[in-house]
Amino acid sequence: MVDFVSKVCGPLSGTVRVPSDKSISHRALLFASIAEGESILHKVLMGEDNKATMTAMQSMGVTIESIDAETLRVQGVGLFGLQQPDDPLNLGNSRTGIRLLAGLLNAQPFESRMVGDASLMQRPMGRIVKPLRMMGARIGMSLENTPPLHILPSDGLKGIRYEMPV
């Protein structure tokens, strides 16, 4: 394995055009939410899963505006600008949303809970909880290793070496 280290040399600016994709839309929405400033996301797939992720980000203080059916304006709040949600974040049936947010929320200075619909509440979460705990995350789940996920502020996450059991 080769390590690559880059020194910070200034802000990154540019345009990346990719085909519409549910998984990429999730990630673009999360990255735009924790970026500083405005992002315009084009060709966003707005199915129920991505709407649930969008609603979760809005409940943590991110301003998201629909420009048209496939375009969003996201006013990012920065990595540590998210606000504690008043209620548990309901990810509906979004497996991608709950898994990605579990990692993001562990770096936040507030407590949060994530729930979903009946199907999501039966999905195993041990695969993501185990490595997050190894990194120093304080995250709980049901005795059946399923949501709800309960996330407490950590004392900082650290890098680990982890081999995924696929």
In the chain, the percentage of residues whose pLDDT exceeds 90 is 81
Which helix (H) or strand (E) segment is 139 a member of?
Answer: strand 138-140
Q: What pLDDT is recorded for position 156? A: 87
Residues 125/145, Cβ–Cβ less than 8 Å: yes
Distance CA 43, CA 17 (A): 9
| 4 pLDDT higher than 70 | no
| 104 pLDDT higher than 80 | yes
Confidence bin at 1 (pLDDT 50/70/90): low
Mapped onto helix, strand or coil, the DSSP state of residue 24 is helix
List the chain domain ranges.
Answer: 17-78, 86-158
Confidence bin at 21 (pLDDT 50/70/90): confident
Distance CA 148, CA 51 (A): 19
Mapped onto helix, strand or coil, the DSSP state of residue 51 is helix
State the average pLDDT over residues 154-158: 90
